[in-house]
Amino acid sequence: QVQLQESGPGLVKPSQTLSLTCTVSGGSITTNFYAWNWIRQLPGKGLEWMGLVAYDGSTYYSPSLKSRTSIFRDTSKNQFSLQLSSVTPEDTAVYYCNVATYSPAGLLRGDYWGQGTQVTVSS
């Protein structure tokens, strides 16, 4: 079973870059048809998908966050990371890493989540 663990600072100052890493165990981030996601939950709101890096290294971003978001992977460490630039207090949220697994035909088979990490943007 795939396990994911987020890590990174819990406090970031406004205008700085938020950086989080997701360490994966029990599976490889290059496994075919796996999509590795970053998702956040703002206070009192639902889940917001931020973007993903796919098994082949391609990346996709939420249009609303694309200008500030970068997702990349380190296959040697079996990790993938999120950078969100120019943060404001409105970026305070619980950040989750997630993997969605698909069949070759593109059908969702299941997903796994990290436990989430609280990031607060404050001076």
Query: How confident is the prediction along the chain (123 residues), in pLDDT tens digits per residue?
Result: 899 999 999 999 999 999 999 999 999 999 999 999 999 999 999 999 999 999 999 999 999 999 999 999 999 999 999 999 999 999 999 999 999 998 888 888 899 999 999 999 999
Compute the distance between CA of residue 105 and CA of residue 103 in angstroms, rounded to an integer: 5
Nearest to 111 by CA among 52, 43, 56, 46: 52
User: Are residues 117 and 95 in contact, defined by beta-carbon separation less than 8 angstroms?
Assistant: yes
Nearest to 98 by CA among 26, 8, 6, 1: 6
pLDDT of 52 reads: 97
Strands 34-41 and 79-84: unpaired
Q: What are phi and psi of 5, to 5 degrees?
A: -140, 120
